[in-house]
Amino acid sequence: MPFSSLNLLAVAVSSVLALVLTPVVRALARRMAMVAKPKIDRWHKKPTAMLGGIAIWFAVVISYLGFLPHTPYFWVVLGASTFLFLVGLADDFIHTKPYQKLIGQVMGSSFVIYYGLSLPWTRSSSLNMALTIFWLIGITNAVNLLDNMDGLATGIAVIASAFLALSFINTGQLTEALILATFAAALLGFLVYNSNPASISMGDCGSIFILFFLASSALVNLSSGR
């Protein structure tokens, strides 16, 4: 699918989808009692619906499939990120053990590496692979803990997406920059409901998805300099 100005519609569509789908997901989460109750380690003063990541995932996937050029590397990024989304969704529902989530993250990272995305930091391909796995898992979990604060994880992801999009523009990867802009638009649509006082949080399905997407997208940006 060649790039055209019509692809810019993806940014608007992504934001609108997140705006429309988030209240639907919120209502379903409340009906299923998927609600985070106030705790000492959470800043919520009242029960907050979870599973907001479902709305973000749908907005990103629909926009990418329907309106954006399909680049080989971003098929890999979206596929691996979707797998991590499912890992997080399983944790939201059945509370998997930390090592089980870690196994899922290693599997997703290995998929990305298998299809040619890795950090080109050393002359050793094996060492680069190990560093890439550490990078992907580290970024995925670093901001994950911030989802207990209204809007913080989402806001950080929006800023990171914007800077990564600018980096893509700087390297002449306009299609990739548009994909990141579309991703950021979905986050902004969700942020309307996630900002203080938040009525819904991303849950693990959202935080793991968006952070792995960003971390693996950065590898696409690095690949342009090889």
**What pTM, to 2 d.p., does this model score?**
0.91
What confidence tens digit (pLDDT) does each residue in 145-184 have? Answer: 666 678 888 999 999 999 999 999 998 898 999 999 999 9
pLDDT range class, residue 7, cuts 50, 70, 90? confident
How much is the pLDDT for 130?
95
- As given in the structure block, the two tokens for residue 154 are 């989402």
Across all residues in the chain, what is the average pLDDT? 89
91 SS3 class: helix
What confidence tens digit (pLDDT) does each residue in 68-95 have? Answer: 988 889 999 999 999 999 999 999 999 8
What confidence tens digit (pLDDT) does each residue in 102-119 have? Answer: 999 999 999 999 999 999
Query: What is the DSSP secondary-structure string of 113-161?
Result: HHTT-----SS-HHHHHHHHHHHHHHHHHHTGGGGGSTTHHHHHHHHHH
Q: What angle do CA 89, 94, 100 make, to 5 degrees?
A: 75
Residue 199 reports pLDDT greater than 70: yes
Q: Which is nearest to 217 in space by CA: 15, 91, 102, 79?
A: 79
> CB–CB of 221/164 below 8 Å?
yes
Question: Helix 203-223 and helix 98-114: axis angle, to 10°?
Answer: 30
Residue 4 reports pLDDT greater than 80: no
What confidence tens digit (pLDDT) does each residue in 204-217 have? Answer: 999 999 999 999 99
Give 157's contacts (C-beta < 8 A, 6+ positions apart). 143, 184, 187, 210, 211, 214
pLDDT range class, residue 43, cuts 50, 70, 90? low
How much is the pLDDT for 11?
94
Residue 38 reports pLDDT greater than 70: no
pLDDT range class, residue 45, cuts 50, 70, 90? low
pLDDT range class, residue 39, cuts 50, 70, 90? low
